[in-house]
Amino acid sequence: MIHSPPQSQLSSDLSDRLRRLAEAEDARLIADRRSFHANPELGWQEIETTAAIVKNLSRSGYEIVAGPAFLGDVERRGLSKDPIPGEGDTGCIAIYDTGRPGPTVCMRVDIDALPIKEATGNHAPAAQGFASRKPGVMHSCGHDGHAAIGLAVARIVKPLLKGGRGKLKLLFQPAEEGGRGGRAVADAGWMDDVDLFFAIHLGLGVPSDSAAFAVHGILANARYDVRLKGRAAHAGKSPEAGRNALLAACQISLGLHTLAQSSRPGMRLNVGLLNAGTAVNIVPEEATLTFEMRAQETADLQALEARCKDFVEATARAHGVEVSLVPGGGADGYANPEEIAEWAQGVNTATGAFGTVLPDMFFGASEDAATLASRVVARGGRGGIFVLGADLADDHHTPNFDFDEKALQKSALLCAGLIASAMDVDHVED
């Protein structure tokens, strides 16, 4: 592993070359983004999305690892109850080795969508003909843009890498939502040789033509599915003979929300799903609920997690119902090191990608890339998660979400510059 920060110096000739290459990608960036937006797929089910990405990368001449070989036999949390063919074997990684000594650099983009019904009417994707074609599934967090940026960066840097040093990994990560894919990628060993890792996220309140590199407050999170099993009974004739799984689930839901009260930063808890019962005159025998926890510090999350598990189990016992808690995903907390933020800002200045750099940004949500960055840092490398500005039509994870597509070219330029800087590219030719 290398321990010195990457260099930010890019020659004016190389910066000019990067700008020309990024400008040439503009139309294709928008077309790719709109194609991904129209064909969204949920986490672990990004089968057609992965196929399209692999097809594009193959044309650029990268070594590609995809399908079952990508994640091997590592645990994949949050698969469907009845998985579809190919589920869990999505995502891929593209690799280019310069053959010259140098760092291993990894850029990560995510590719999954959300279970949201997209808005119609004057919502731009609907009005311009690229709205989701899959009812109830939508790219509502910008991952369609991230995937398009990743492909553009692959095309931009490939002809330049013969003048660079080290190895490049372009990671197209599945199942970011819910904090599932990052841990699987890390457990599969893809971060073990990475010296420098970076990931990007569009929007998040950062306006167009602005970027945030001094990012902190990326929250650790964990999610659990709770399954309760009681005993059915006639609700009128003999309710005392039953064990009401629904009432246990309700008390658990209310009680869990009280446990997140804390002066510690970023402490949050939400019960987002609750299902129970079969008929109004039957004491509910089964119930399921799903909850997630967040905290700014991983240690705080672990303490909250232990209390929540104890509470769920104790409440279930009090109601006389059986309980199981199944981990559904999670991510580490993270903050960008100062030297990584300064490096990224230097590259941004050299390339002229974004006109304004925010001096500080509290992320205030979770990001699966934090697990990957933490794994790299734990092995002696360095990592950063950067927020790239794009004005939004509505907030993330909403039916009217959309972003300013002018951010795509700027983002591709910056990311290509980061790779060229980290890999000490010194060869420029048209």
What does the alpha-carbon distance between residue 72 and residue 50 come to, in Å, rounded to a whole number?
Answer: 16
**Alpha-helix residue ranges (DSSP H) falling in 61-142:** 68-71, 124-127
Containing 306, the helix (H) or strand (E) segment is helix 298-319
What does the alpha-carbon distance between residue 104 and residue 170 come to, in Å, rounded to a whole number?
Answer: 11
Q: Greatest CA separation found in the chain?
A: 85
Q: Kindly tell me the burial class for residue 59, based on how many C-beta atoms sit within 10 Å of its own C-beta (0-12, 13-18, 19 or more).
A: exposed
What does the alpha-carbon distance between residue 78 and residue 180 come to, in Å, rounded to a whole number?
Answer: 7
313 marked as part of a ligand binding site? no
DSSP state letter for 94: E
Output the six-digit token pair for 418.
């980061």
139 marked as part of a ligand binding site? no
- CB of 158 closer than 8 Å to CB of 62: yes
Separation in Å, CA 268 to CA 21, 263, 364? 43, 11, 10
Neighbouring C-beta atoms of residue 240, cutoff 10 Å: 7
Residue 4: CB partners within 8 Å, gap ≥ 6? none
397 marked as part of a ligand binding site? yes
- DSSP sequence for 236-266: TT-GGGSB-HHHHHHHHHHHHHHHT--SSTT
What does the alpha-carbon distance between residue 108 and residue 382 come to, in Å, rounded to a whole number?
Answer: 14
- CB of 104 closer than 8 Å to CB of 359: no
92 marked as part of a ligand binding site? no
What sign does the dihedral 199-201-206-208 (CA atoms) show? positive
How far, rounded to the nearest angstrom, does the alpha carbon of residue 31 sit from its chain's CA centroid?
A: 22
AA identity, residue 251:
Q
Output the six-digit token pair for 143.
């991952």
257 marked as part of a ligand binding site? no
**Cα pseudo-dihedral 197, 201, 202, 203, rounded to 10:** -130
What does the alpha-carbon distance between residue 94 and residue 167 come to, in Å, rounded to a whole number?
Answer: 11
Dihedral-angle region of residue 28 (phi above 0 means left; psi in -120 to 50 means alpha; beta otherwise) = alpha
- CB of 321 closer than 8 Å to CB of 313: no
Which residue ranges are tagged as binding site?
Answer: 141, 143, 177, 201, 397
Which residue ranges are tagged as binding site for Mn(2+)?
Answer: 141, 143, 177, 201, 397
